[in-house]
Structure 1
Amino acid sequence: MKYNEALAYKKEALQKADESVLQEYHIIITPANTAESAKYIEEFSKNPDDFTDSSCKKYCSNDEYEVVSFRKEKED
């Protein structure tokens, strides 16, 4: 999906998500390309606060995106 579609999809997912899901998982927009997505998630995971929704654009080569969720790292 295009970036604006992914943004709308993410917004809807956040509205429907249970509070525990929001606390336990990142819900982010990533490039649809698997290799680009993996690179973006790797960089995002190092410091999530440094990223915005549009940060994924510089990792994407074909303007195709998806919304993914993955468990947040536990802070000790």
Structure 2
Amino acid sequence: MKYNQALEYKKKALKKADKSVLQNFHIIITPADTRESAKYIEDFSKNPDDFNDSSCKKYCSNDEYEVMSFKKEPEE
């Protein structure tokens, strides 16, 4: 999906998610390409506070995105 579609999808997912999901999982927009997505998630995981929704754009070569979630690492 295009970026704007992914952004709307994420907004809806955040509204539907319960508190425990929001506390324990990152819900992010990533490039649809597997390699680009893996690189984005790797960089995002190092310091999530440095990223916002549009950060994924610089990792994406074809303007195709997806919304995904993954478990947050426990804070040290």
What's the TM-score bracket when you normalise by the shorter of the two chains? over 0.9
Structure 2: which amino acid aligns with 1:50?
A: D
Q: Please list every run of 5 or more consecutive structure 2 residues that lacks an aligned counterpart in the other structure.
A: none
Question: Is 1:63 the counterpart of 2:66 in the alignment?
Answer: no
Question: Is 1:22 the counterpart of 2:28 in the alignment?
Answer: no
Instruction: Give the secondary-structure state (helix, strand or coil) at the position aligned to 1:69.
Output: strand
Supply the distance in 1 between the matched residues of 2:46 and 2:16 (Cα, whole angstroms).
27
Taking only aligned residues, the RMSD between alpha carbons, in angstroms, comes to 0.4
Alignment TM-score, normalising by the size of structure 1: 0.99
Supply the distance in 2 between the matched residues of 1:13 and 1:44 (Cα, whole angstroms).
19
Aligned positions, number: 76
Q: Please list every run of 5 or more consecutive structure 1 residues that lacks an aligned counterpart in the other structure.
A: none
Supply the distance in 1 between the matched residues of 2:10 and 2:53 (Cα, whole angstroms).
9
Q: What CA deviation, in whole Å up to 9, does each residue of 1:6-54 have, x standing for no partner?
A: 0000000000001000000000000000000000000000000000000
Alignment TM-score, normalising by the size of structure 2: 0.99
Supply the distance in 1 between the matched residues of 2:6 and 2:19 (Cα, whole angstroms).
21
Instruction: Give the secondary-structure state (helix, strand or coil) at the position aligned to 2:70.
Output: strand
Q: Report the alpha carbon displacement of residue 75 of structure 1 after superposing the two structures with TM.
A: 1.1
Structure 2: which amino acid aligns with 1:30?
A: T
What stretches of structure 1 move > 4 A for 4+ residues in a row? none
Instruction: Give the secondary-structure state (helix, strand or coil) at the position aligned to 2:29.
Output: strand
